[in-house]
Protein backbone atom coordinates (compact mmCIF):
# COMPACT_ATOMS: atom_id res chain seq x y z
CA UNK A 1 0.00 0.00 0.00
CA UNK A 2 1.08 3.54 -0.66
CA UNK A 3 2.87 5.52 2.05
CA UNK A 4 1.24 8.66 0.78
CA UNK A 5 -2.15 8.09 2.43
CA UNK A 6 -1.99 9.12 6.11
CA UNK A 7 -2.98 6.17 8.32
CA UNK A 8 -5.20 8.38 10.48
CA UNK A 9 -7.26 9.53 7.51
CA UNK A 10 -10.86 8.36 8.07
CA UNK A 11 -11.06 7.14 4.46
CA UNK A 12 -7.54 5.67 4.45
CA UNK A 13 -8.52 2.19 3.21
CA UNK A 14 -10.64 3.54 0.40
CA UNK A 15 -7.89 5.97 -0.60
CA UNK A 16 -5.30 3.20 -0.63
CA UNK A 17 -7.46 1.15 -2.96
CA UNK A 18 -7.58 4.13 -5.31
CA UNK A 19 -3.80 4.33 -5.08
CA UNK A 20 -3.55 0.69 -6.13
CA UNK A 21 -5.61 1.38 -9.24
CA UNK A 22 -3.59 4.45 -10.16
CA UNK A 23 -0.42 2.39 -9.70
CA UNK A 24 -2.07 -0.30 -11.84
CA UNK A 25 -2.50 2.20 -14.66
CA UNK A 26 1.11 3.36 -14.31
CA UNK A 27 2.27 -0.27 -14.48
CA UNK A 28 0.24 -0.94 -17.64
CA UNK A 29 -2.16 -3.34 -15.89
CA UNK A 30 -5.35 -1.33 -15.53
CA UNK A 31 -7.29 0.62 -18.14
CA UNK A 32 -8.31 4.20 -17.50
CA UNK A 33 -11.90 3.03 -17.75
CA UNK A 34 -11.14 0.89 -14.73
CA UNK A 35 -11.12 4.04 -12.60
CA UNK A 36 -14.69 4.78 -13.60
CA UNK A 37 -15.76 1.22 -12.90
CA UNK A 38 -14.06 1.44 -9.51
CA UNK A 39 -15.94 4.65 -8.71
CA UNK A 40 -19.23 2.89 -9.33
CA UNK A 41 -18.21 0.09 -7.01
CA UNK A 42 -16.90 2.50 -4.39
CA UNK A 43 -20.24 4.31 -4.20
CA UNK A 44 -22.12 1.06 -3.63
CA UNK A 45 -19.59 -0.17 -1.10
CA UNK A 46 -20.13 3.07 0.83
CA UNK A 47 -23.86 2.37 0.89
CA UNK A 48 -23.17 -1.16 2.14
CA UNK A 49 -21.14 0.18 5.05
CA UNK A 50 -17.91 -1.10 3.45
CA UNK A 51 -18.40 -4.47 5.02
CA UNK A 52 -19.35 -7.96 3.98
CA UNK A 53 -23.03 -8.55 4.57
CA UNK A 54 -24.14 -12.02 5.71
CA UNK A 55 -25.78 -12.93 2.41
CA UNK A 56 -22.59 -12.10 0.52
CA UNK A 57 -20.54 -14.26 2.88
CA UNK A 58 -22.95 -17.14 2.28
CA UNK A 59 -22.70 -16.59 -1.47
CA UNK A 60 -18.90 -16.55 -1.28
CA UNK A 61 -18.90 -19.87 0.60
CA UNK A 62 -21.37 -21.36 -1.86
CA UNK A 63 -19.16 -20.19 -4.72
CA UNK A 64 -16.28 -22.10 -3.19
CA UNK A 65 -18.46 -25.21 -2.86
CA UNK A 66 -19.27 -24.93 -6.58
CA UNK A 67 -15.60 -24.55 -7.45
CA UNK A 68 -14.61 -27.54 -5.32
CA UNK A 69 -17.23 -29.61 -7.15
CA UNK A 70 -16.10 -28.40 -10.56
CA UNK A 71 -14.11 -30.44 -13.07
CA UNK A 72 -12.48 -27.37 -14.63
CA UNK A 73 -12.83 -24.25 -12.50
CA UNK A 74 -11.21 -21.08 -13.86
CA UNK A 75 -10.73 -17.62 -12.33
CA UNK A 76 -10.99 -14.73 -14.77
CA UNK A 77 -8.81 -11.68 -14.14
CA UNK A 78 -9.08 -8.16 -15.57
CA UNK A 79 -7.07 -4.99 -15.04
CA UNK A 80 -8.91 -3.89 -11.91
CA UNK A 81 -8.60 -7.25 -10.20
CA UNK A 82 -4.89 -7.45 -11.02
CA UNK A 83 -4.27 -4.02 -9.51
CA UNK A 84 -6.52 -4.33 -6.46
CA UNK A 85 -5.95 -7.85 -5.25
CA UNK A 86 -3.16 -9.82 -6.95
CA UNK A 87 -2.13 -11.66 -3.77
CA UNK A 88 -5.68 -12.61 -2.82
CA UNK A 89 -6.45 -13.75 -6.36
CA UNK A 90 -3.38 -15.96 -6.56
CA UNK A 91 -3.96 -17.35 -3.06
CA UNK A 92 -7.46 -18.41 -4.01
CA UNK A 93 -6.31 -19.92 -7.30
CA UNK A 94 -3.58 -21.88 -5.53
CA UNK A 95 -5.91 -23.04 -2.75
CA UNK A 96 -8.36 -24.34 -5.37
CA UNK A 97 -5.65 -25.50 -7.76
CA UNK A 98 -7.50 -23.52 -10.43
CA UNK A 99 -5.91 -21.69 -13.36
CA UNK A 100 -6.19 -17.96 -13.86
CA UNK A 101 -7.13 -16.47 -17.22
CA UNK A 102 -6.59 -12.87 -18.22
CA UNK A 103 -9.74 -11.68 -19.95
CA UNK A 104 -10.06 -8.02 -20.82
CA UNK A 105 -12.74 -5.72 -22.07
CA UNK A 106 -10.23 -3.16 -23.39
CA UNK A 107 -7.87 -5.80 -24.68
CA UNK A 108 -4.31 -5.23 -25.84
CA UNK A 109 -1.50 -7.79 -26.05
CA UNK A 110 0.70 -5.56 -23.87
CA UNK A 111 -1.85 -5.41 -21.07
CA UNK A 112 -2.70 -9.14 -21.25
CA UNK A 113 0.98 -9.95 -20.97
CA UNK A 114 1.66 -7.43 -18.18
CA UNK A 115 -1.22 -8.81 -16.10
CA UNK A 116 -0.18 -12.43 -16.67
CA UNK A 117 3.37 -11.59 -15.61
CA UNK A 118 2.11 -9.65 -12.57
CA UNK A 119 0.11 -12.71 -11.46
CA UNK A 120 3.12 -14.98 -11.98
CA UNK A 121 5.24 -12.55 -9.95
CA UNK A 122 2.72 -13.05 -7.15
CA UNK A 123 3.14 -16.84 -7.26
CA UNK A 124 0.51 -17.97 -9.76
CA UNK A 125 1.31 -21.29 -11.39
CA UNK A 126 -1.06 -21.54 -14.36
CA UNK A 127 -2.02 -18.29 -16.08
CA UNK A 128 -3.65 -18.22 -19.50
CA UNK A 129 -2.56 -14.93 -21.03
CA UNK A 130 -1.62 -14.33 -24.65
CA UNK A 131 -2.59 -16.85 -27.32
CA UNK A 132 -6.36 -17.00 -26.89
CA UNK A 133 -7.52 -19.70 -29.30
CA UNK A 134 -11.29 -19.85 -28.83
CA UNK A 135 -14.27 -17.52 -28.92
CA UNK A 136 -17.29 -17.23 -26.67
CA UNK A 137 -20.27 -17.54 -29.04
CA UNK A 138 -22.41 -14.44 -29.38
CA UNK A 139 -19.89 -12.04 -27.91
CA UNK A 140 -18.46 -9.75 -30.55
CA UNK A 141 -16.10 -7.65 -28.44
CA UNK A 142 -12.63 -8.60 -27.21
CA UNK A 143 -13.88 -10.25 -24.06
CA UNK A 144 -15.01 -13.08 -26.29
CA UNK A 145 -11.38 -14.12 -26.87
CA UNK A 146 -10.62 -17.01 -24.51
CA UNK A 147 -8.42 -20.06 -24.16
CA UNK A 148 -9.78 -23.43 -25.21
CA UNK A 149 -8.18 -25.05 -22.14
CA UNK A 150 -9.27 -22.20 -19.86
CA UNK A 151 -12.56 -20.33 -19.82
CA UNK A 152 -13.86 -22.00 -22.99
CA UNK A 153 -13.90 -25.49 -21.51
CA UNK A 154 -14.45 -24.48 -17.88
CA UNK A 155 -17.59 -25.72 -16.18
CA UNK A 156 -17.37 -23.12 -13.41
CA UNK A 157 -15.97 -19.61 -13.89
CA UNK A 158 -15.30 -17.12 -11.12
CA UNK A 159 -15.41 -13.57 -12.36
CA UNK A 160 -14.44 -10.93 -9.84
CA UNK A 161 -15.82 -7.81 -11.53
CA UNK A 162 -17.52 -8.37 -14.83
CA UNK A 163 -19.35 -6.75 -17.68
CA UNK A 164 -22.91 -7.84 -18.23
CA UNK A 165 -22.58 -9.00 -21.83
CA UNK A 166 -20.08 -11.67 -21.03
CA UNK A 167 -22.01 -12.79 -17.97
CA UNK A 168 -24.96 -13.47 -20.25
CA UNK A 169 -22.82 -15.18 -22.91
CA UNK A 170 -21.16 -17.50 -20.38
CA UNK A 171 -24.57 -18.31 -18.93
CA UNK A 172 -25.74 -19.23 -22.44
CA UNK A 173 -22.81 -21.71 -22.62
CA UNK A 174 -24.29 -23.45 -19.56
CA UNK A 175 -21.41 -22.58 -17.31
CA UNK A 176 -21.87 -21.97 -13.63
CA UNK A 177 -20.83 -18.37 -13.21
CA UNK A 178 -19.81 -16.92 -9.89
CA UNK A 179 -19.67 -13.14 -10.03
CA UNK A 180 -18.22 -10.78 -7.45
CA UNK A 181 -19.76 -7.36 -8.06
CA UNK A 182 -20.92 -4.88 -5.48
CA UNK A 183 -23.92 -3.86 -7.54
CA UNK A 184 -26.98 -6.09 -7.00
CA UNK A 185 -28.65 -4.31 -9.95
CA UNK A 186 -25.90 -4.94 -12.51
CA UNK A 187 -26.57 -7.38 -15.34
CA UNK A 188 -23.59 -9.40 -14.13
CA UNK A 189 -24.99 -10.13 -10.70
CA UNK A 190 -28.50 -10.48 -12.11
CA UNK A 191 -27.28 -13.13 -14.57
CA UNK A 192 -24.83 -14.98 -12.31
CA UNK A 193 -25.58 -18.42 -10.94
CA UNK A 194 -23.94 -17.28 -7.70
CA UNK A 195 -23.74 -13.49 -7.25
CA UNK A 196 -21.50 -12.19 -4.47
CA UNK A 197 -22.40 -8.55 -3.71
CA UNK A 198 -19.20 -7.56 -1.99
CA UNK A 199 -15.96 -5.75 -2.63
CA UNK A 200 -13.60 -8.21 -4.31
CA UNK A 201 -10.82 -7.20 -1.92
CA UNK A 202 -12.91 -8.61 0.95
CA UNK A 203 -14.63 -11.47 -0.91
CA UNK A 204 -11.50 -13.14 -2.33
CA UNK A 205 -9.79 -13.72 1.07
CA UNK A 206 -13.11 -14.92 2.48
CA UNK A 207 -13.29 -17.47 -0.31
CA UNK A 208 -9.77 -18.69 0.41
CA UNK A 209 -10.76 -19.18 4.06
CA UNK A 210 -13.80 -21.11 2.89
CA UNK A 211 -11.60 -23.46 0.84
CA UNK A 212 -9.81 -24.47 4.05
CA UNK A 213 -13.14 -24.97 5.75
CA UNK A 214 -14.79 -26.94 2.94
CA UNK A 215 -12.02 -28.94 1.31
CA UNK A 216 -12.72 -31.97 3.47
CA UNK A 217 -16.51 -31.75 3.07
CA UNK A 218 -18.26 -34.55 1.21
CA UNK A 219 -19.46 -34.07 -2.34
CA UNK A 220 -23.04 -34.50 -1.12
CA UNK A 221 -22.63 -31.73 1.44
CA UNK A 222 -21.09 -29.39 -1.13
CA UNK A 223 -23.84 -30.15 -3.61
CA UNK A 224 -26.49 -29.53 -0.97
CA UNK A 225 -25.00 -26.07 -0.33
CA UNK A 226 -25.11 -25.23 -4.02
CA UNK A 227 -28.62 -26.64 -4.52
CA UNK A 228 -30.11 -24.67 -1.66
CA UNK A 229 -28.52 -21.37 -2.77
CA UNK A 230 -31.03 -18.72 -3.85
CA UNK A 231 -29.52 -16.08 -6.14
CA UNK A 232 -32.66 -13.92 -6.22
CA UNK A 233 -32.90 -13.84 -2.44
CA UNK A 234 -29.19 -12.95 -2.23
CA UNK A 235 -29.64 -9.99 -4.57
CA UNK A 236 -32.80 -8.88 -2.77
CA UNK A 237 -30.94 -8.99 0.54
CA UNK A 238 -28.13 -6.78 -0.79
CA UNK A 239 -30.65 -4.28 -2.16
CA UNK A 240 -32.46 -4.24 1.15
CA UNK A 241 -29.19 -3.66 3.02
CA UNK A 242 -28.48 -0.67 0.76
CA UNK A 243 -32.02 0.67 1.07
CA UNK A 244 -32.33 0.29 4.83
CA UNK A 245 -28.77 0.98 5.88
CA UNK A 246 -29.28 -1.88 8.33
CA UNK A 247 -26.25 -4.09 7.80
CA UNK A 248 -25.76 -7.40 9.48
CA UNK A 249 -22.12 -7.04 8.53
CA UNK A 250 -19.58 -9.70 9.30
CA UNK A 251 -16.43 -7.71 9.28
CA UNK A 252 -15.55 -4.13 9.94
CA UNK A 253 -11.93 -5.11 9.80
CA UNK A 254 -11.16 -2.98 6.79
CA UNK A 255 -7.48 -3.83 7.03
CA UNK A 256 -8.25 -7.27 5.61
CA UNK A 257 -8.19 -5.42 2.29
3-class DSSP state of 176: strand
Q: How far is the CB of 24 from ligand PTJ (least distance, A)?
A: 9
Q: 10 Å Cβ neighbour count for 32?
A: 10
Residues 219 and 69 sit within 8 Å (Cβ to Cβ): yes
Establish if 78 lies at the interface with ligand PTJ (CB under 6 A): yes
| Residue of 41, 153, 22, 20 lying closest to 99 (CA atoms) | 153
Q: Cα–chain-centroid distance for residue 177?
A: 11
Residues binding ligand PTJ: number (CB under 6 A): 25
| Residue of 80, 10, 51 lying closest to 198 (CA atoms) | 51
Per-residue x/- marks for ligand PTJ, 193-212, CB under 6 A?
------xxx-----------
Which helix or strand (DSSP H or E) is residue 76 part of? strand 73-77
Please enumerate in sequence order all residues whose Cβ is within 8 A of that of 174, keeping only pairs 6 or more positions apart, or say none: none
Segment interacting with ligand PTJ (CB under 6 A) among 49-57, 132-140, 178-186, 216-224? 178-186
Q: How far is the CB of 107 from ligand PTJ (least distance, A)?
A: 7
Angle among Cα 112, 43, 194 to the nearest 5 degrees reads 65
* Interacting positions 16-35 with ligand PTJ (CB under 6 A): 31, 33-34
Establish if 9 lies at the interface with ligand PTJ (CB under 6 A): no
Q: 10 Å Cβ neighbour count for 219?
A: 10
Residues 164 and 24 sit within 8 Å (Cβ to Cβ): no
- In the set 80, 145, 190, 193, which binds ligand PTJ (CB under 6 A)? 80
Q: How far is the CB of 104 from ligand PTJ (least distance, A)?
A: 4
Q: How far is the CB of 164 from ligand PTJ (least distance, A)?
A: 7
- Residue 18 vs 223, nearer CB to ligand PTJ: 18
Establish if 44 lies at the interface with ligand PTJ (CB under 6 A): yes
Establish if 37 lies at the interface with ligand PTJ (CB under 6 A): yes
User: For binding to ligand PTJ (CB under 6 A), which residues are involved?
Assistant: 31, 33-34, 37-38, 40-41, 44, 78-80, 84, 104-106, 161, 163, 180-183, 186, 199-201
Amino acid sequence: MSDEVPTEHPRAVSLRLRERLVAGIDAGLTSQHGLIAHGRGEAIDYLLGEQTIESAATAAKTGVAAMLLADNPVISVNGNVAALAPEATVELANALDAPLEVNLFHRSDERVDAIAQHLRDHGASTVFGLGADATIPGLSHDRGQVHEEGIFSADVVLVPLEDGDRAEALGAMDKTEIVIDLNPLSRSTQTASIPICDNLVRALPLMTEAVTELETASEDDLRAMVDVFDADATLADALEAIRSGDFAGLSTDLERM
